[in-house]
């Protein structure tokens, strides 16, 4: 059972609206204080143009864009990949890159320490390991912690046991104390529940769901497969995309025309190609790599079903992207995905003890009925309309204004 939130009241108090209803803080109202001139630092592990960037990076960037639109001066501080510039201005955001995937957690706090009085508010994104902004900023600087999901099991899945233990200790007891008085933002009810139950998180938690693009440009391109399944996202180990590739083999007898399309980039690309060869389904699996937005949407729209086999998610941004194009999703019943997939309405959840291939086959049989498929497609589009980056940004802007109001005057409070 999740530990209930205490000590939070007013417009940002956590509020349950049912498992599949987003908790938004409301659009920016005319009465909201202006953010013009407010100086914000957004600390994030990656930025959207990096090779294995995902939903967390898109979220942080879209929020940054919205804050810039409200008049804030935003610095987005992140890691640096080979060939990338250390600094640039993009979408009105001052982008600063430093360190690799490990050094970034040392260099970013040092960068912030040297500028500790220049910012009014810091958004500190915890991708398993936080940046510990409260320890280096000026006392009057507001800090908002952004946590998409709990990483504890993910540490043990990909690191030696001793290193995983350190990661869990930092994510849990250490971060719990450092951020105990800082408002935390997460993206789903189940992520909030896991923060309370598994990390014993003490700080007030506000849910601000992901958005989804309003415009959905679709290229005119052929997509083979009848039926066609699609996976969209980063090609990294914890996404378990090999299970999606295996569907081409597991279902080939029942669905001889089935094809699996994998869209995305990442270090698992070659291993997935090897997996398809091992299972004898090279001709049934199309590894597209990175596609432009219109091309990606063409593949999604042509698919009957979106499939994600990840067991670690804070939300599932691609679930909503697929739903916006009328495509339902099969996903595991894990934190985040159980919120973005409305089970039995906009998709199907793989429960404990279920087999992914069995649930996918059941979904394909339901979708073979034209009337049933049309109802599901309509439900998907209606569900996706509830999530926009405008709503996400407005909710975060409300929260930023409320946090700044605790230390007056602003902007420029950190001087």
pLDDT at 216 > cutoff 50? yes
Q: What is the mean pLDDT of residues 141-166?
A: 82
Spatial neighbors of 333 by CB under 8 A, at least 6 apart, are 343, 349, 350, 351, 352
| Distance from C-alpha of 404 to C-alpha of 415, rounded to nearest angstrom | 14
Whole-number Å distance between alpha carbons of 27 and 244: 38
DSSP designation for 214: S
Report pLDDT for 30: 41
What's the DSSP call for residue 172? I
CA torsion through residues 354, 355, 359, 362, sign = negative
DSSP SS3 for 56: helix
Quick: pLDDT tens for 346-367: 999 999 989 999 999 999 999 9
Neighbours of 236 (CB within 10 A): 17
For residue 373, the tally of other CB atoms under 10 A from its CB is: 15
The residue ranking higher by pLDDT, 362 or 34, is 362
| pLDDT of 2 | 33
Beta pairing partners, 74? 40
> So what's the pLDDT on residue 1?
30
Residue found by looking up tokens 């089970």 in the block: 343
Q: Smallest Cα–Cα separation from 169: which of 190, 151, 186?
A: 151
The proportion of the chain whose per-residue pLDDT surpasses 90, expressed as a percent, equals 70
Instruction: Give 95-134 pLDDT, tens digit per residue.
Output: 999 999 889 999 999 999 999 899 999 999 998 899 999 9
| Ramachandran bin of 289, using left for φ above 0, alpha for ψ from -120 to 50, beta for the remaining angles | left
Q: How far out from the chain centre does Cα 114 lie?
A: 30
pLDDT, tens only, 297-349: 999 999 999 999 988 777 888 999 999 999 999 999 988 899 999 999 999 99
DSSP conformational letter for 26: -
Look at the alpha carbons of 28, 16, 63, 212 in this order and tell me if their dihedral is positive or negative: negative
The pTM (predicted TM-score) of the whole model is 0.81
Q: Distance of CA 192 to CAs 122, 123, 148, 334, Å?
A: 21, 18, 9, 13
pLDDT tens per residue across span 172-210 = 899 999 999 999 999 989 889 989 988 999 999 999 999
For the chain, domains (ranges, CATH) are 10-211+388-405 (3.40.50.2000), 228-384 (3.40.50.2000)
> Over the Cα atoms of the chain, what is R_g?
21
Six-digit token pair at 28? Answer: 């920016």
Whether 18 has a pLDDT exceeding 70, the answer reads no
Residue showing tokens 């789903």: 188
DSSP characters over 320-384: HHHHHTT--EEEES-TTHHHHS-BTTTEEEE-TT--HHHHHHHHHHHHTSHHHHHHHHHHHHHHH
- Distance CA(282)–CA(275), nearest Å, equals 9
Strand-pair partners of 230? 261, 306
**What pLDDT sits at residue 340?**
93
How confident is the model at residue 24, as a pLDDT? 43
Cβ atoms 129, 170 nearer than 8 A: yes
Q: Hey, what are 248's tokens? A: 């081409």
**Are the beta carbons of 134 and 408 closer than 8 angstroms?**
no
Measured CA to CA, the distance from residue 58 to residue 11 in angstroms comes to 26
Q: At what angle do helices 317-324 and 370-384 cross, to 10 degrees?
A: 120
pLDDT for res 232: 95
């Amino acid at each position: 059972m999740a530990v209930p939130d205490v000590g939070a009241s007013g417009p940002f108090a956590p509020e349950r609206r049912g498992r599949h209803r987003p908790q938004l803080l409301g659009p920016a109202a005319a009465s909201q204080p202006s953010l013009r001139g407010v100086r914000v630092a957004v600390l994030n592990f990656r930025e959207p143009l990096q090779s294995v960037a995902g939903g967390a990076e898109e979220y942080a960037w879209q929020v940054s864009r919205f804050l810039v639109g409200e008049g804030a001066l935003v610095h987005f501080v992140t890691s640096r990949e080979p060939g990338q510039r250390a600094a640039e201005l993009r979408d009105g955001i001052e982008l600063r890159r430093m360190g690799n995937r490990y050094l970034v957690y040392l260099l970013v706090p040092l960068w912030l320490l040297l500028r500790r009085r220049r910012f009014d508010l810091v958004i500190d994104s915890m991708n398993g390991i936080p940046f510990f902004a409260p320890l280096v900023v000026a006392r009057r600087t507001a800090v908002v912690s952004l946590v998409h999901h709990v990483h504890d099991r993910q540490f043990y899945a990909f690191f030696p046991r001793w290193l995983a233990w350190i990661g869990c200790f930092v994510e849990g007891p250490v971060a719990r104390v450092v951020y105990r008085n800082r408002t935390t933002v997460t993206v789903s009810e189940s992520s909030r529940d896991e923060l309370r139950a598994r990390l014993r998180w003490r700080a007030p938690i506000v849910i601000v769901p992901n958005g989804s693009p309003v415009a959905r440009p679709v290229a005119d391109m052929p997509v083979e497969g009848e039926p066609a399944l699609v996976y969209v996202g980063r090609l990294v180990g914890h996404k378990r995309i090999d299970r999606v590739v295996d569907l081409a083999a597991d279902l080939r007898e029942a669905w001889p025309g089935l094809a699996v399309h994998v869209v995305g980039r990442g270090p698992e690309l070659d291993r997935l190609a090897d997996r398809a060869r091992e299972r004898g389904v090279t001709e049934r699996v199309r590894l597209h790599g990175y596609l432009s937005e219109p091309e990606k949407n063409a593949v999604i729209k042509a698919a009957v079903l979106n499939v994600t086999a990840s067991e670690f998610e804070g939300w599932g941004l691609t679930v909503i992207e697929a739903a916006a194009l009328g495509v339902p999703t099969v996903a595991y019943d894990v934190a985040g995905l159980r919120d973005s997939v409305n089970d039995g309405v906009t998709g199907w959840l793989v429960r404990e003890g279920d087999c992914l291939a069995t649930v996918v086959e059941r979904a394909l049989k339901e979708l073979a009925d034209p009337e049933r498929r049309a109802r599901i497609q309509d439900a998907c589009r209606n569900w996706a309309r509830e999530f926009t980056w405008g709503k996400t940004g407005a909710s975060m802007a409300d929260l930023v204004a409320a946090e700044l109001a605790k230390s007056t005057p602003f902007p420029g409070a950190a001087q």
